[in-house]
Structure 1
Amino acid sequence: MLLVIISWIVLGLIAGAVARLLVPGPDPMSIPMTALLGIGGSFVGGFLGYVLFHKDLGEGALQPSGILGSIIGAIVLLLVYRAVGGRRRVRR
């Protein structure tokens, strides 16, 4: 079980980092926030994959399409984050 959690964190970090590289612009996020972005993207990508293609965990958890879905989900979450919470900067 610990190995599964560690692999989720590592894959989440990779998916979040790729999403941050693909979406231009500054993102002042720490490494743990990038990992959470990727993990959240995995949930969003998994949900979208299930809704659109009717695929689920019973067909295999670690597939190239799942990793791609995680990256797409992380991009969606990053864009939502920018639209909702990314403008909380203080102007002087």
Structure 2
Amino acid sequence: MSGFGFIAWIVIGLIAGWLAEKIMKRDHGLWTNLIVGVVGALLGGFLVNLLGMDASGSWIVGIVVATLGAVILLFLLGMIKKRA
């Protein structure tokens, strides 16, 4: 997802973080959604690249990949929180 600019990363991060929050039935604020979305985009992009696919060029693909990464991130954080 390197084809997106800085502002696009923020917009995609906000959308992905908000979608992941709804999917995982969590209640976070705007900043947390942004952070989760951007980190999720990095995680999702990394995983998609591991599978040999390309996630760049399309806003829709970017949002889907970032949302999947954000959901995985929230799931993993939930698992860690349960163990602690």
Pairwise same-fold verdict (TM > 0.5) = yes
Instruction: With the length of structure 2 as denominator, give the TM-score of the two structures.
Output: 0.78
Aligned to 1:53, the other structure's residue is in SS state coil
Unaligned runs of 5+ in 2: none
* Structure 1 residues not aligned, in runs of 5+: none
Q: How many residues align?
A: 81
RMSD after superposition: 2.4
Which aligned segments of 4 or more residues in structure 1 are displaced greater than 2 angstroms? 53-57, 62-66, 85-88
Aligned pairs (5 A) from 1:1-92: 4-24=5-25, 26-27=26-27, 29-55=28-54, 57=56, 60=57, 62-85=58-81
Distance verdict in 2 for CA 1:7–1:54, change over 3 Å: closer
TM-score normalised to the size of structure 1?
0.72
Q: If you compute each CA radius of gyration, which structure gives the higher value, 1 or 2?
A: 1
